[in-house]
Chain A
Amino acid sequence: GQQLNQSPQSMFIQEGEDVSMNCTSSSIFNTWLWYKQDPGEGPVLLIALYKAGELTSNGRLTAQFGITRKDSFLNISASIPSDVGIYFCAGQFYSGGSNYKLTFGKGTLLTVNP
């Protein structure tokens, strides 16, 4: 089945620094999604990407859908303590009929030191 390789697994940064994480796959995806999970909570959607090459921002977050459709990255600028959490990439592929399934990366744990 489809697999996503997400890196890095964890990051320790100082407040104010920029952060970059990415996901790659051997399969082509039709949609790339980025989620954030706070401790003890469910994942929350940050950004959705629908076209190869698409670059989308949400505040200090910027994500891109790779040209090959096999990768995506997420950048966070000027990190703040509340950016702490686990960031997941997810790819969507058509599984037949009218239903779509998500494949998730294993997550990047971000720690921000004030």
Chain B
Amino acid sequence: NAGVTQTPKFQVLKTGQSMTLQCAQDMNHNSMYWYRQDPGMGLRLIYYSASEGTTDKGEVPNGYNVSRLNKREFSLRLESAAPSQTSVYFCASDGGRDTQYFGPGTRLTVL
């Protein structure tokens, strides 16, 4: 039981490049989330998926798209990366009773 896994762990992009961050959970959770973490800003919600086939915007969705591929997988895509998207990205899934379990994070730098 690996919990929540994320790939890649580190990534460097040039401005304008695109990439997809992958997330998978093996806990049979319905809800999944993408957050970004910036120094002094805490965790901010980008997008979430309440269940397979549904996605909704969070607090900071601009510049991102998501896909809930199946119950296990929830991906985050940057179509045209910008330096302001340099951040640490965390995926989480909801374990019920309002608890969320986080992956180890993807550290993204956009030059």
Contact = CB atoms under 8 A, between A and B. Distances in A.
Interface stretch (A14-22, A73-81, A92-100): A92-100
B34 to A, nearest CB: 12
A42 B103 contact: yes
Interface in B40-80: 40-45, 48, 50, 56, 58-59
A106 B42 contact: yes
Nearest to B103: A42
B18 interface: no
Interface in A28-43: 30-31, 33, 35, 40-43
A92 B98 contact: yes
Contact of A42 (B44, B58, B90): B90
Contact of A88 (B33, B42, B99, B101): B42
A104 B99 contact: no
A105 B98 contact: no
Contacts, number: 60
A31 B99 CA distance: 9
Contacts of B48: 99, 101
A101 B58 contact: yes
B101 A45 contact: yes
A1 B59 CA distance: 9
B35 to A, nearest CB: 8
A92 B33 CA distance: 14
Nearest to A42: B102
18 contacts: A31-B97, A33-B99, A33-B100, A35-B102, A41-B104, A42-B4, A42-B103, A43-B43, A48-B98, A88-B42, A90-B100, A97-B50, A99-B31, A102-B33, A102-B43, A106-B40, A106-B41, A106-B42
- 9 shortest A-B CB distances, which residue pairs? A42-B102, A99-B50, A106-B42, A31-B98, A92-B98, A104-B43, A104-B42, A43-B102, A42-B104
Interface of B: 4, 31, 33, 40-45, 48, 50, 56, 58-59, 90, 92, 94, 97-105
